Chains A and B, each alone.
Chain A
Amino acid sequence: MRRHQPNRILPSEITPEATYLNRRDLLAGAVASGILSATALPALPVVAAEAPAGHFNFTRNAKYSVSLEPTSYKDITHYNNFYEFGTGKEDPAANAGTLRPRPWSVAVEGECETKGTFGFDDLIKGLPLEERVYRFRCVEAWSMVVPWLGFQLSGLIQKLKPTSKAKYVQFVTLMDPKQMPGEATDVLNWPYVEGLRMDEAMNPLTLMAIGLYGRALPNQDGAPLRLVVPWKYGFKGIKSIVKIAFVENQPRNTWNIAAPNEYGFYANVNPHVDHPRWSQATERPIGKGLFAKNQPTLMFNGYENEVGYLYKGMDLRRNF
Chain B
Amino acid sequence: MTVEQQFRYLYKPAVFAASLVPAALLVCGALGWFGQDLGADPVAKLLHSCGKTGLNFLLLTLLVTPLRRLTGWNNLVRLRRMLGLFAFFYIVAHFSVYLVLDRQLDMHSIVQDIAKRPYITIGFAALLLMVPLAITSTNRMMRRLGRRWQKLHRLIYLIVILGVWHYWWQVKKDIRQPALYVGMVAVLLGIRLAYYLRSRARQARSVTSKSAPATAQERT
Interface residues of A (CB under 8 A from B): 74-75, 78-79, 83, 87, 89-90, 140, 142, 187-188, 258-259, 277-279, 281-282, 284, 286-287, 289-294
B210 to chain A, nearest CB (A): 56
A203 to chain B, nearest CB (A): 28
Is B109 an interface residue, CB under 8 A from the partner?
Answer: yes
B170 to chain A, nearest CB (A): 7
Q: Which of chain A's residues have a CB closer than 8 A to the CB of B30?
A: 290
Interface residues of B (CB under 8 A from A): 30, 38-44, 46, 101-102, 104, 106, 109, 112-113, 117, 119, 169-170, 172-174
A79 to chain B, nearest CB (A): 4
A83–B172 alpha-carbon span in the complex (Å): 12
Q: Is B41 within 8 A of A87, CB to CB?
A: no
Q: Is A293 within 8 A of B104, CB to CB?
A: yes
A85 to chain B, nearest CB (A): 13
B99 to chain A, nearest CB (A): 13
A71 to chain B, nearest CB (A): 8
Give the nearest-CB partner of B172 in chain A.
A140
A75–B113 alpha-carbon span in the complex (Å): 28
Q: Which of chain A's residues have a CB closer than 8 A to the CB of B109?
A: 279, 281-282
Please report the number of residue pairs spanning A and B whose Cβ atoms sit closer than 8 angstroms.
54
Q: Which of chain B's residues have a CB closer than 8 A to the CB of A282?
A: 106, 109
Q: Which of chain B's residues have a CB closer than 8 A to the CB of A287?
A: 40
A98–B173 alpha-carbon span in the complex (Å): 24
Which of A75, A258, A291 has a CB less than 8 Å from the CB of B40? A75
Q: Which of chain B's residues have a CB closer than 8 A to the CB of A277?
A: 117, 119, 169-170
B213 to chain A, nearest CB (A): 62
Q: Which of chain B's residues have a CB closer than 8 A to the CB of A292?
A: 43
Q: Is A286 within 8 A of B113, CB to CB?
A: no
Q: Is A289 within 8 A of B42, CB to CB?
A: yes
Q: Is B173 within 8 A of A90, CB to CB?
A: no
Which of A259, A286, A291 has a CB less than 8 Å from the CB of B41? A286
Which of B44, B102, B104, B174 has a CB less than 8 Å from the CB of A187? B174
Which of B40, B42, B169 has a CB less than 8 Å from the CB of A89? B40
A90–B38 alpha-carbon span in the complex (Å): 12
Q: Which of chain B's residues have a CB closer than 8 A to the CB of A74?
A: 40
- 13 residue pairs from A and B, CB less than 8 Å apart: A78-B40, A79-B41, A87-B174, A89-B40, A277-B119, A279-B113, A282-B106, A286-B41, A289-B42, A290-B42, A290-B43, A292-B43, A294-B106
A291–B101 alpha-carbon span in the complex (Å): 7
Which of B43, B106, B117 has a CB less than 8 Å from the CB of A284? B43
Q: Is A187 within 8 A of B41, CB to CB?
A: no
Give the nearest-CB partner of B169 in chain A.
A277
A-B pairs with the 6 shortest C-beta distances?
Answer: A79-B40, A87-B174, A75-B40, A290-B42, A286-B40, A187-B174
